[in-house]
Amino acid sequence: MAAATSAYDALLAHCRETFLLGSTSALLSWDQETYMPKGAGDVRSQQLALLAKLAHERATDPRVGEWLATCEAERGHAADSDHAANVRGLRRDYERATKLPSKLVTELAETESKAQQHWAEARARSNFRRFQPWLERMVALQQQKADCLKKPGQSRWDALADLYEPGMNAADLRTLFAPLRQRLVGLRQRLARGKTPDESFARVEIEEPKQEAFVRAVVTAMGFDFARGRIDRSAHPFCTGTGGDVRLTTRFHKDNVQDALGSTMHEGGHGLYEQGLEPQHLGTPLGEAVSLGIHESQSRLWENHVGRSAAFWQWCWPIAQQHLGAACTGHTPESVSCASNVVQPSLIRVEADEATYDLHVMIRFEIEQALIDGDLGVGNLPDRWNALYREYLGVAVPDDKHGCLQDVHWSCGLFGYFPTYTLGNLYAAQFAAAADKALGGLGPLLAAGQFATLREWLRRHVHVHGRRYTPAELCQRVTGTPLSSEPFLAYLDQKLSAVYGL
């Protein structure tokens, strides 16, 4: 027994130290996107590659396999005990890590850092051809990675997707997505018969410092702890870090305060998840988010179920008036909340409304499967992209910047990641419905600015568990039912019908 306990302790000490390398890499990547001077790009790629190599060496240390075997042989640990959950999580990580050769890991890290820099340049010039060789290299590396990871009979894409959402596969997603697509299209057609809300608030010009003060006030009210995190600017908003060091980024457009608010509440939702993990588990599976789908449920819940609700705007209106001043003149909380819910097929995923957002995701889902399976050459990506935008959303893509260069993901090597955005929307709706029921209605809480009640409910039911349960188990525990798109469609239908006066 003493030996077994000591194997578990050794295992945890080891993974906590590996976490230090991982969190160092995360900070370097954050810096790359926020403050790093351009001239540092080459060295940064090398630093990240070296850290990835060192982290991979640690993660594949044969002693980890021995400690795991010892821990697994131990009896008397309930399936949801700390011990069992950590051992299960570390086993999964170890199996995954040992399948990847060190050389590939280093090459991936260096290519990710470089490709991201080239993507940013290509995007700025709206020129896919500049990025194409980097994406070709990245796809080739991801194919190699998938070949290393995939189990017998598993597709390459499924092997990659499982990294982000344990248990997710393309077949299940297609089953979920096909009817969802149909019903979203149906909803849009129905809304076309209603009255489109006045969108002018979203177009008012507001200076950046005012917008910044406003979104900071909101994210502070949400409960984001600035003693354990911060907000900066980046081209593409993101959240990174964990525990005492959670870093959000956002962005500002002079004529779109809704974008800044939405991005900040979105990343703030991610940040609350990271800050809501149990500090004593930092650096171990129990101190990590369970999946990207669940992570995204937290960001979308705050961005959409809170931030685009009529109740929220009742609370928010005086705050908006205080910070945005004259920009609020002629608007009301009702008009502004309606303005934040206009449904309009568009080109950019992160700016999409809730009724069309998932169509953007489905397009990427189709394309990345084709890229990874080799059915689509990288050179044909813009054409395929543009064709699918016509088919799914009925919009014409004017250039690469507003087309296939809009997202950072593929340049960072994130293939198999996009569907987690839609899973996040579905989880968010299902969690919000459960919270609404448990807390006696979210509306009055939001209208009163009592965000702590919702935040604590999420913390207790989702955050604190880390990787104790699978995403599916967690969903069942939190909501009493498996994941379904019904709560999402019901929520959208109810909210948008009201907004469109139907």
**Contact set with its own copies (CB under 8 A):** 17, 20-21, 23-24, 27-28, 31, 35-44, 46-47, 50-51, 54, 225-230, 232, 241, 243-246, 282
We find the least distance from the C-beta atom of residue 403 to its own copies, in angstroms, to be 29
Q: Which of 70, 66, 75, 22 is nearest to 48 (CA)?
A: 22
* CB closer to its own copies out of 31 and 473: 31
CA distance 28 to 39: 15
Secondary structure element (H or E) that encloses residue 170, with its range: helix 170-191
Is residue 153 classed exposed, middle or buried when 0-12, 13-18 and 19+ CB atoms within 10 A define those classes?
exposed
Residue 425 to residues 4, 235, 266, 281: CA-CA distances in angstroms?
42, 23, 12, 27
The catalytically annotated residue of 267, 274, 303, 354 is 267
Neighbours of 437 (CB within 10 A): 12
The angle formed by the CA atoms of residues 493, 435 and 162, to the nearest 5 degrees, is 80
CA distance 467 to 456: 18
We find the least distance from the C-beta atom of residue 25 to its own copies, in angstroms, to be 9
We find the least distance from the C-beta atom of residue 280 to its own copies, in angstroms, to be 13
SS3 for 250?
strand
* CB closer to its own copies out of 229 and 382: 229
- 366 an active-site residue? no
* CB closer to its own copies out of 262 and 287: 287
* CB closer to its own copies out of 77 and 210: 210
We find the least distance from the C-beta atom of residue 451 to its own copies, in angstroms, to be 20
Contact partners, residue 432, CB within 8 Å, separation at least 6: 301, 305, 442, 487, 491
Residue 361 to residues 313, 348, 349, 418: CA-CA distances in angstroms?
28, 11, 8, 6
We find the least distance from the C-beta atom of residue 41 to its own copies, in angstroms, to be 7
Beta bridge partners of 331: none
We find the least distance from the C-beta atom of residue 318 to its own copies, in angstroms, to be 28
Residue 173 to residues 168, 185, 361, 417: CA-CA distances in angstroms?
7, 18, 11, 12
Is residue 50 classed exposed, middle or buried when 0-12, 13-18 and 19+ CB atoms within 10 A define those classes?
middle
Residue 369 to residues 203, 278, 334, 407, 418: CA-CA distances in angstroms?
37, 36, 42, 16, 11
Edge to edge, the sheet with strand 245-250 lists: 229-233, 245-250, 239-242
- Which residue type does 42 have? D
What letter does residue 281 receive in the DSSP assignment? G
Secondary structure element (H or E) that encloses residue 430, with its range: helix 419-438
* CB closer to its own copies out of 252 and 392: 252
* CB closer to its own copies out of 246 and 328: 246
* CB closer to its own copies out of 43 and 452: 43
We find the least distance from the C-beta atom of residue 220 to its own copies, in angstroms, to be 14
Unique residue bearing structure tokens 């299902």: 430
CA distance 340 to 331: 13
Confirm if 138 and 118 have CB atoms less than 8 A apart: no
We find the least distance from the C-beta atom of residue 279 to its own copies, in angstroms, to be 9
Q: Which of 314, 271, 310 is nearest to 289 (CA)?
A: 271
* CB closer to its own copies out of 262 and 271: 271
We find the least distance from the C-beta atom of residue 20 to its own copies, in angstroms, to be 5
* CB closer to its own copies out of 43 and 192: 43
- Write out the catalytic residue numbers: 267
